[in-house]
A = this chain, B = another copy of it.
C-alpha cells in the first residue's frame, strides 16, 4: 500500500529550500511513499532535478500564508495558499496526510474549516513526542486550547492513547494528567474533575503526573490544557538551549579545554544526537477528520523529514478510525453520568 503525503512547501522560516530536499530525501529512502509538493511552481521545480520518478508530484498553489499572518484572514482570503491546497488534498482523498511548517494558528483554522472535527471531539489538540528516561511520551495539548473543560481533557486522553495504540501497536497505553503536587492545593478544579472522568473512562489512567514526571516517563500519554503544555514545552526548549550554551562555553574556554573537547567529542556528539530536538519534530493536530502534522517553523531539512515521517506513519496506522471507535465507546458512559 502506498501512502501519499501532501507537503506545504512554502511554510516555515526557510520554505522550499528546506521542505523540498527533505521530501525528496525521504521518498528516496522509503519506497512506500509518494509526496505531492504544494507551492509556487516556479520556486519548486528548479529544486526538483530528476528526483523521485513517479513518486514526486508538484501541485501549483499561487499564494503563501505568512508566518505572522492572522489566521482568520489567511482562512478567508488565501484560498489558493500552499497550506490550504495541501489540506484540501487530504480532504479530497488525494493525500493521506499533510505537513506544514507554517503559521500554527492558520494551519489550525484551515484544517478545522476544511477537514472538520471527528464526531465527539470538540476541538483539535496539538500532540508532540518528548524524550524520557524510559523512551518517550506523548503530550497534548501544546497550545491549541488555552481554556479547557474537564471533558476536553478526557477527549485529549482518548485521542492521545488512540494515537499511541495505533502507531506503536500497544494495547493499553498509560495516560496521566499534568498537575502540581503542592500539598495545600493539588491542582485546580478543572484538573480534579478531569481526573474523576479519567478514572471512570476505562482508559489506563495512572493519575496525576507532575512536571518532572514528563521526562521521567511516568505515562505514555500526558494531557494538559494548551497554556500549561505550551509553557512547559517552551521552558524545556529554553533550558536545553541554556545548558547547551553553558556546556559549549566550558569546552571552548581556552586552548587546553578545547584540546580536551577533542577527546570528548564522540561522546558529546552522541549526547547531542540523543537529545536533538529535531528528532522530535512534528506535532500532530489531533481530532480532525484527516491527518495534519505541524513542523516547527525553524525546522531544517533533517527536522522537516522527521515531521514527514510522522505524517506517513500516522497515515498508515488507522489512528482516525481508532479515535472514532474510542469516542463511540464512551457515549454510554456519558449518558449514564
Contacts and interface: CB of A to CB of B under 8 A. Distances in A.
B242 A239 contact: no
A253 interface: yes
Contacts of A132: 242
Contacts of A47: none
Q: How many copies does the complex hold?
A: 2
Contacts of A216: 238, 241-242
Interface string A84-99: 0000000000000000
Contact of A237 (B131, B212, B251): B212
Given A234-B212, A266-B260, A183 B71 contact: yes
Interface in A209-231: 210-216, 224, 226-228, 230-231
Contact of A231 (B133, B184, B231): B231
Nearest to A224: B231
Given A180-B231, A183-B104, A185-B105, A242 B215 contact: yes
A78 B180 CA distance: 26
A176 interface: no
Interface stretch (A9-17, A35-43, A267-275): A267-275
Nearest to A143: B182
Contacts of A232: 211, 231-232, 235
Interface of A: 68, 70-71, 103-106, 108-109, 131-133, 143-144, 146-147, 178, 180-185, 187-189, 210-216, 224, 226-228, 230-243, 245-247, 250-251, 253, 257, 260-261, 263-264, 266-268, 270-271, 274-275
